[in-house]
Every structure is written in structure tokens, then in C-alpha cells.
Amino acid sequence: MLYMNKSNSGKNSGSSRLISIKIVHTLIWLFFNGVIIYLFYAVIVNRIDKWVWIGIGFILLETIV
């Protein structure tokens, strides 16, 4: 949980920070959805190349984080 000092943070800075976090989270979520869709596609067309292994690496890295 993030701690914010109320004396130097107004409602505007708190809400803009929350919006920024939500935007970054959404972009990361979209990226990983794209990776998973590509992995599914690569398996369907039997095209296992370096991008599949890079995608698997991203998924494993996200799992660790």
C-alpha cells in the first residue's frame, strides 16, 4: 500500500497518480494478452521460432515478478 503525506499531496495529485498507475497496468496487460495470443497462433500454425521463446520468457518473467 502506498503511503502519501497528506500535507503535500492534494486530491488532484493522488488521482493523477492513480490514473497513471492504471494506464501503465492496462498497457502491460494488453502487451501480455498480445504475447499469449501470439503463442496460441504460433502453436496452431506450427511455427515455433525465436519469438515463441521470447514470449515464453516474458511470461516466466511476469510469473516471477
The answer as to whether 47 is a domain residue is: yes
Total domains in the chain come to 1
3-state secondary structure of 2: coil
For the segment 10-64, what is each residue's pLDDT rounded down to a tens digit? Answer: 566 788 999 999 999 999 999 999 999 999 999 999 999 999 999 999 999 999 9
The pLDDT score that the predictor gives to residue 11 is 62
33 Ramachandran zone, left/alpha/beta (phi>0; psi -120 to 50): alpha
Closest CA to 54 of 45, 62, 27: 62
The answer as to whether 57 is a domain residue is: yes
The answer as to whether 46 is a domain residue is: yes
Domain that residue 55 falls in? 31-65
Backbone angles phi, psi at 47, to 5 degrees: -120, 80
The answer as to whether 24 is a domain residue is: no
Dist CA 23 CA 16 (whole Å): 10
The answer as to whether 22 is a domain residue is: no
The answer as to whether 44 is a domain residue is: yes
C-alpha cell at 12: 488532484
The pTM for the full model equals: 0.71
The pLDDT score that the predictor gives to residue 54 is 97
The answer as to whether 19 is a domain residue is: no
